[in-house]
Structure 1
């Protein structure tokens, strides 16, 4: 199993976390305040659940499959982005990260 710390080897990654299926924090690494890590886990869990619901709705409205289960999601701000797959998420500096490398590593961590 690839460890969460392997995400920190991707240039631009600030922090990474793993959360349980109820949104509670399992572990966090990198530059994230412990007081905020739990909130970040809840945020990432909630966004994943919303994405699942949207996929279900797209399937129902379009009559086309392939929308679920979602593979992951990303949200970008001016300087930082949060990217998630499954129950793993990371925070990255946009100007430094290769999103291709990041998502490749994120997939391995989330699915190994």
Structure 2
């Protein structure tokens, strides 16, 4: 089962997809239009690249602090959240327990993805 299918099987998940670290290819499934998924993949890729750049800058200026390389990011709104780990994005409702369960699953499932491509 793919990570996208696994995420969609979780309660509260509305849509999930993958994007290319380089280029504009993406795939998705769930309650999202093709155009919204395209915009989401662009936004997620750009934000991931920014987070990774800031992580590298922090490590250069504060070497030895024990900072880990960024693996992703989370945007938590009043009703919905977006979670990105590696090159996988997930849109979900903020139902009780949903966000923590999804983040945990994504971190475990995507632990071995090489982030040096970013």
TM-score normalised per structure 2: 0.81
Q: Let me know the Cα RMSD of the aligned residues.
A: 2.0
Distance 1:23 1:90, change over 3 A: farther
For 2:5 and 2:74, the matched residues in 1 are separated by: 19
Structure 2 unaligned runs (5+)? 113-118
**Aligned 8 A contact 2:92 2:99 in 1:** no
**Alpha-carbon distance between aligned partners in 1 of 2:25 and 2:56, rounded to the nearest angstrom:** 26
The SS at the match of 1:44 is: helix
Matched ranges for 1:1-112 at <5 A? 2-22=2-22, 24-64=24-64, 66-111=66-111
Instruction: Give secondary structure in 2 for the equivalent of 1:42.
Output: helix
Give, in whole Å, the separation in 2 of the partners of 1:3 and 1:29: 11
Residues in 2 aligned to 1:46 and 1:66: alpha-carbon distance in whole angstroms: 25
TM-score when scaled to structure 1? 0.85
Structure 1 spans left out of the alignment, 5+ residues: none
Asked if the contact 1:88–1:109 (Cα under 8 Å) also holds between the matched residues in 2, the reply is no
Q: Check whether the contact 1:52–1:68 (CA below 8 A) recurs between aligned residues.
A: no
Structure 1 residue 97 displacement after superposition: 4.5
What number of residue pairs does the alignment pair up? 112
**What is the rounded CA distance, in whole Å, between the counterparts of 1:30 and 1:99 in structure 2?**
17
Query: Following TM superposition, where does structure 1 have runs of at least 4 consecutive aligned residues deviating by more than 6 angstroms?
Result: none
